């Protein structure tokens, strides 16, 4: 069915501040400016109620993705502290005592927490590519990867001898 310009956007009846475009419920294609209700990407016929449902779902996903940035930042700091504790504990442990065990235990716990927080980045990956660009707080891919790698390394280093 042919549509007037802007019709598909009006179907979403936005009631929030951000200017998110309508999205294909099947493939996530950005339907801004679409002139029919057939998705140009996958051919799906988009219904008005689906547009509204997808708009609400996307808004919730984007909120969770915005929070993910903060969680990843905290995870990175926790992992850094864990790395310092692990190294300090091991260095002090050359004279014996409980320092190396304590350092490894705290390093492992910090690695676990860091990994959980770093994996919050998956929330960003669940967004369609165009929606990632609409985030107010742009996702920091490098920090997310660094947090996940550092945290996983800590958990391994807490167990192996080095
Ligand atoms: Zn589609």
Question: What is the distance in A from the centroid of ligand 1 to the CA of 79?
Answer: 40
Longest dimension (CA), the chain: 79
Per-residue confidence at 70, pLDDT binned at 50, 70, 90? Answer: very high
Question: What is the distance in A from the centroid of ligand 1 to the CA of 37?
Answer: 10
What pLDDT shows up at residue 13?
A: 58
Question: What is the distance in A from the centroid of ligand 1 to the CA of 30?
Answer: 8
The residue-averaged pLDDT of 56-61 equals: 86
What pLDDT shows up at residue 14?
A: 53
Give pLDDT tens digits for 108-128. Answer: 999 999 999 999 999 898 888
Going from N- to C-terminal start, the domains of the chain cover 7-157
Question: What is the distance in A from the centroid of ligand 1 to the CA of 49?
Answer: 15
Give pLDDT tens digits for 138-148. Answer: 888 999 999 99
pTM: 0.75
Model confidence at 91: pLDDT above 90: no
How far is it, in rounded angstroms, from Cα 88 to Cα 105? 12
How far is it, in rounded angstroms, from Cα 129 to Cα 135? 11
Q: At what angle do helices 141-157 and 99-118 cross, to 10 degrees?
A: 150
Q: Bridge-partner residues for 45, per DSSP?
A: 38
Question: What is the distance in A from the centroid of ligand 1 to the CA of 18?
Answer: 22
How far is it, in rounded angstroms, from Cα 52 to Cα 20? 12
Structure-block tokens of residue 16: 């929030």
Question: What is the distance in A from the centroid of ligand 1 to the CA of 118?
Answer: 31
> Which is more confident, 45 or 56?
45
What pLDDT shows up at residue 155?
A: 96
Question: What is the distance in A from the centroid of ligand 1 to the CA of 2?
Answer: 16
Q: What percent of the chain has pLDDT over 90?
A: 43
Question: What is the distance in A from the centroid of ligand 1 to the CA of 132?
Answer: 18
What pLDDT shows up at residue 16?
A: 44
What's the distance, CA 44 to chain centroid?
28
Q: Which residues lie below 8 Å from residue 11, measured CB to CB, with a gap of 6+?
A: 22, 48, 51, 52
Please state, rounded to an integer, the average pLDDT across all residues of the chain.
86
Question: What is the distance in A from the centroid of ligand 1 to the CA of 41?
Answer: 5
């Amino acid at each position: 069915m042919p549509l007037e310009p802007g019709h598909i956007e009006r179907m979403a009846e936005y009631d929030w501040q951000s200017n998110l475009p309508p999205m294909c419920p099947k493939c996530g294609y950005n339907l801004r400016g679409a002139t029919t209700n057939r998705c140009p990407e996958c051919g799906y016929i988009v219904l008005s109620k689906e547009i509204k449902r997808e708009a609400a779902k996307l808004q919730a996903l984007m909120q969770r993705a915005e929070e993910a940035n903060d969680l990843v930042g905290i995870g990175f700091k926790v992992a850094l502290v864990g790395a310092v504790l692990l190294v300090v504990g091991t260095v002090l442990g050359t004279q014996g005592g409980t320092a190396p065990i304590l350092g490894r235990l705290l390093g492992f716990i910090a690695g676990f927490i860091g990994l959980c927080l770093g994996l919050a980045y998956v929330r960003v990956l669940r967004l369609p590519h165009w929606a990632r660009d609409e985030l107010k707080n742009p996702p920091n891919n490098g920090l997310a990867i660094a947090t996940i790698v550092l945290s996983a390394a800590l958990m391994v280093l807490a167990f192996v001898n080095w």
